[in-house]
Chains A and B, each alone.
Chain A
Amino acid sequence: MSEPRGPRHDAMSEAAQPRNDALTEAAAQPRNDALTEAAAQPRNDALTEAAAQPRNGGLSEATQPRNVAMSEAAEPRNGAMSEILEARNISKNYGGVRALKDVTFTAYRGKVNVLVGENGAGKSTLMKILSGSEQPTSGEILLEGEPVQLGSPRHAQARGIGIIHQELSLFPNMTIAENLFAGRELRKGGRFVDAAAQRRQAREVLHRLGQHRLDPDTLVGDLPIGQQQLVEIGRVLLTDVRVLIMDEPTSALSNHEVDVLFGVMDELRRDDVTVIYISHKLDEFRRIGDWVTVFRDGSLVAHESMSRTDTGWIVRQMVGRDPDSLYVRNSSPVGDVLLDVRGLTVDGTVKVDDVSLTVRAGEVVGIYGLMGAGRTELVETLMGMREASAGEVFIRAKTEPKGTVQARMAAGLALVPEDRQRDGLVPTMSVRENILLATLARMTRGGLLNGGAEQRTAKDKVGELAIKIPGLGALVTALSGGNQQKVVLARALLTDPVVLLLDEPTRGIDVGAKSQIASLMADLAAQGFGVLFISSELAEVMAMADRVLVMARGRVTAEFTAENVTEEALVAASASDSVLEASA
């Protein structure tokens, strides 16, 4: 697993070179100051090459002026650069959550503009706004310098802005040709669908996508997911698109398909089409991107020409603040093995492939990986929500073969799910009812619910976890994200688990609440629980976990201890090609 480290270091030191050149050319005084500070990011081995400076707390403030200075400096150097799409001072609130904070983003004509950032950083929200499916709470959008209202996806399409979503929006019951022309069928005689012309054009598009052997009459539902993704891209290619937004289009593609896609993107770039490309895969987007924009916690933190960045710089921008200041590390001694998973395999579109792991008492184990790596499927199977096709689960050294939610719960597992709206909360119920849902049977006297016991138990947990609520009888939907998460956690804790499974416990909650959840996890470990948590945030997983497992394509591709883990190693292992090829 340590193999990728060598070549990466080489690449980094090479990449670091042009950046330094650029700096000396531009030679703006404030920027230089900022750089030495910015470079002072802790826990990054590669960084020591750039500037061996002690850790500096004022990092996130320091990055801002530097980037402004940089992009200004860049302007005259690339004279032909022109802005096609500009989002000015965009903010977006969802209830109490600020998904975007005063973001000003620019996409350059005929370039591949890459957007990166951790899950929940605001990239997808901004793209939804630019493609008309969401409206900003404040701010304006300029297309070729003109302010535009993008009231709906149709409006955006009419102005030449197309989007390829991460989740496919195809009709599996229709053929490739029908999908390509859905909603804008070619006509014959003004009234009838011209199926022959559609088929002909579909074949041309498929050819352009390197799929000349694919029959346009194939049902989309019968295609593997990668080819479905290409069909989705083909849909947009058929429209007169000036700005093409792609939200993680390669997550389901094989290496060969990625090459084809990049070829298409190159072609689009030559045709002066602007591409906005969201990706998590650093090695991939560095191949194709012209500009890179980094989002963090709903803000745009950096905007830079790709040639002047390197992998380490991008990761630092993504991670941002000193993680140790935000998260509490668990430092309790570890005890017995509480959870022992051997060779767990789950079939399905997202599979779990021969996963073995252990969690000890007092230990916090993190699972890092990209979306679709099988992490959620792993914990859901452990919890008995999915059926395993192979493998064994031991809890407190006893095998638990039944694999039902009830049996796993009784054995001592509890899961706080990733999507608390979908899997965690009952929105029609009160805070109290939601907290007590899993342990109602204990709250009875003579078969009837004992209101006093209910109230006491719920109140105790609310106090213990410091949940902020208007009242125990208030609807759970009235709470903020962080407090909703604590309600789900409270319910899990009431089942007396020995190992807590937390799936993205800090997703979609603000920084303060993240920090609270983190210290709760450390506390729980200190009390002797085993904690297994999933995270897509590098900083979080590195700061909180005693051990980190990395999953990619259903398999554990790497394991690190808190001492030897690095951002680059995690990123590399999460996009591990060895596993990718093994599954293809």
Chain B
Amino acid sequence: MTDTHVAPPKHAAAAPPPDEPKNTALARAALLLLRGRTLVVLVILVIIFSSISSEYLTQSNLILMTKHVAINAILAIGVTFVILTGGIDLSVGSIAGLASMVAGGLLFKGLNFPGGTVFFSVAVVILIGIVVGALVGAVNGVLITRFKVAPFIATLGMLYVARGAAQLHSDGGTYPDLAGTEARGNTGFGFIGVDSILGIPVAVWIMVVVAAAAVVVTTKTPFGKRIFAVGGNERAAVLSGIRVNRIKIAVYVISGACAALAGLLLTSELGAAYPDTATTYELNAIAAAVLGGTALSGGRGTIIGTVMGAFVIGFLSDGLVLVGVSTFWQSVVKGAVIVFAVITEQAQQRLQSNLAKRTA
């Protein structure tokens, strides 16, 4: 403890002046490498797996893997908003499951009114699913801001509640057929999860649109800057007149909506809605955000980084499957990569602050 405290000034003082530019240049190069580490890891993964299996780098496999990535990426983008404010959202997997069941129920059996059963078009069903996710997110946000429940606890509770609600929706059963009928005017749910445009799955296009929107919101709007401010220093944000509670509720709403969208994509892909949809997906989503350089303490991170993180996780798991590594080893590798990512993140922060001190 004390050693690490003393070390930096000593080094700074001991470094002979002529060496400093060279050291600085070296440090800058290392920093660049660390900043782009998610990309570096991704490239290394592709090189390793394609050298083991000739199938890995084929167009069809790349498209398939990207489609797998899309769902986790959308979840992770939502979670990134939350983590940027210094919070956490453990409920996204369950929200995805709930949205899946709500949409599945509407498509499969419609909405029962005393006067009869109403069926909605696919677009309306999707909208309702997303609104349900956003509302659950809003409940998270209100619990955290108005009732001062720690984000971990509030969303852990919601993890159970939303999953339970999903199971209650069908009494634990599956809605097996979501194709709809012409007569009910609710066909075409497969479009978002199965179909392709220009040879690229619709799910991937949706991911691109969500990511682009998220990039604009986080970097180009006052709301985005305020998210970073709340996560970077909440007290300073309060003093700057930022309505911190509103920002917090908003990020949980965004996270819930993204989770619901991901759940709908998954459901469409499977062609059936079952209550266990997306169980434990929240962990993959958080892992993607962390891998992409989002600091769990808040205030630091990028949407692009999170998407890259989702790619690393997706390409890694699919690669391990493809080369025939057992699922047990897959877990071990995935866990190790996540922890390693956090270690390099800290190395980057240290280097960055050292460089800042040197140039100041």
What residues of chain A have their CB less than 8 Å away from a CB belonging to chain B? 93, 95-96, 135, 137, 151-152, 383, 385, 405-406, 409, 415, 417, 422-429, 433, 436-438, 440-441, 443-444, 447-449, 470, 474-475, 477-480, 491, 495
Give the interface SS of chain B, mostly helix, strand, loop or mixed. helix
**Are B222 and A449 closer than 8 Å at their CB atoms?**
yes
The answer to whether A437 and B221 have CB atoms under 8 Å apart is no
Cβ–Cβ contact A448 & B220, under 8 A: yes
Contact A405 B236 (CB under 8 A): no
Interface residues of B in 221-262 (CB under 8 A from A): 221-222, 225-226, 228-229, 231-233, 235-243
Contact check: which of B5, B6, B239, B300 meets A428 at CB < 8 Å? Answer: B300
CB distance from B203 to the nearest CB of A (A): 28
CB proximity of B314 to chain A, nearest CB, Å? 28
Interface assignment of B326: CB less than 8 Å from any CB of chain A: no
Instruction: Give the residues in chain A near B243, CB-CB below 8 Å.
Output: 406
A487 → chain B, closest Cβ, in Å? 11
Contact between A444 and B222, CB atoms less than 8 A apart: yes
B299 at the A interface (CB under 8 A): yes
The answer to whether A477 touches B236, judged by C-beta atoms less than 8 angstroms apart, is: no
The interface on chain B, measured as residues whose beta carbon lies within 8 A of the other chain's beta carbons, has a size of: 33
Q: For residue A419, which residue of chain B has the nearest CB? A: B235
Contacts known (A428-B300, A438-B241); A137 close to B9, Cβ less than 8 A: yes
Q: Which of B222, B353, B357 has the most CB of A within 10 A?
A: B222
The 0/1 profile, CB within 8 Å of A marked 1, for residues 283-299 of chain B is 00000000000010001
- Listed A/B pairs (16) with beta-carbon separation below 8 Å: A96-B360, A135-B5, A151-B2, A423-B233, A426-B233, A426-B236, A428-B231, A428-B299, A429-B229, A438-B240, A441-B222, A448-B220, A449-B221, A470-B359, A479-B360, A491-B240
Chain B residues with Cβ below 8 Å from A477 are 353, 356
Residues in A whose Cβ lies below 8 Å from that of B238:
385, 405
For residue B339, CB closer than 8 A to chain A, the reply is: no
Tell me, yes or no, whether B40 is within 8 Å of chain A by CB: no
- Given A152-B1, A422-B235, A474-B360, 9 new contacts (CB under 8 A): A96-B360, A405-B239, A423-B233, A423-B236, A426-B228, A426-B236, A428-B228, A437-B229, A448-B220
CA distance A406 to B242 in the complex (A): 8
In the bound complex, CA of A422 to CA of B238 (Å): 12
Q: B62 at interface (Cβ–Cβ under 8 A)?
A: no
User: Provided the pairs A135-B2, A428-B232, A470-B360 are in contact, do residues A415 and B239 lie with their beta carbons within 8 angstroms?
Assistant: yes
Closest chain B residue, CB of each to CB of A425: B236
A residues less than 8 Å from B225 (CB atoms): 433, 436-437, 440, 449
Q: Tell me which residues across on chain B come within 8 A of A135, comparing CB atoms.
A: 2, 5-6
CA distance A508 to B101 in the complex (A): 58
Which residue of the partner chain B has the closest CB to A471? B359
**Residues of chain A with a CB closer than 8 A to B216's CB:** 448
* Complex partner residue of B221 from A448, A470, A475, CB under 8 angstroms: A448
The interface residues of chain A lying within 8 Å CB-to-CB of B240 are 437-438, 491
